[in-house]
Structure 1
């Protein structure tokens, strides 16, 4: 019988906190059970093992990221919207590195719920990219470029990968401005 007050949301929420504080690799059934004051087997009433924990974290993070990006994009367009959503994305990665790490892999085939959560993030980014009138493969290339640029910069920053004492915010702003300039597609 499931323990009172212990449900999937609480289990995944605790796992997400551990991931952010200690890294995604620290998320184990034993570690989450310890944090919740229960025995590891009792977690199986709420999640499908470690994979279920990581999947739950990915769902949570994708939902949070979609909200953060949507809020950043509201009332903006073009390069301003791109810059604002990129900054919001970067901030999310820096504030929630473990949760974000769970979103890196593409969903498994048939995992419609996780695919929909990821699609919500992409839908916000597609809205931001509308200013460039991109279609088909051009839009996909732009989405990949955006995600790669922001992911790469933010994960390097979170890992302490920038040792040269030059303003990180200025470097990031320049990166996104260069990305915006590169999104122009010749429709001739």
Structure 2
């Protein structure tokens, strides 16, 4: 019996966006982690309403470092957008330059988050409020740290012979995840830094 054989050697080995499996993995991860953030915020607000000592324990957090962190994070969305666009065009030079910018911004954000932790007026073991503050800041900090590490590795790869083909798809996927890092911080910032002031 004759077999039908299709020659697929001419098909591309990579693509962008939802046409590739890693994008769906990143999207699923964003949904999963977003749910975790939502549960954390829900727990925080639940205790704020039901814990009679919450108002006394909820010392308003210093706005200086958190606001600077938020400003840099929001500003980083622009070079991130440009990185994604250049990656989809497979334009190596701007991708290299923009990944350097994103790496520098990421390292700055890690530094700001460390300073933010040192400026907290409450320790994680002091009370439930302190535990939630450290938990939510820590969770988001881990997301920043992991994406910055990924960006640094990708930046190095783009300056080697591996900086072609599938690496552009990786850069686009990395930029997609950074949007989640930015957007997930905004409700956390509002809850942690502004709700206690209401």
TM-score (normalised: structure 2)? 0.27
**Greater relative contact order (Cα < 8 A, sep 6+):** 2
Instruction: Give the alignment's TM-score, normalised by structure 1.
Output: 0.28
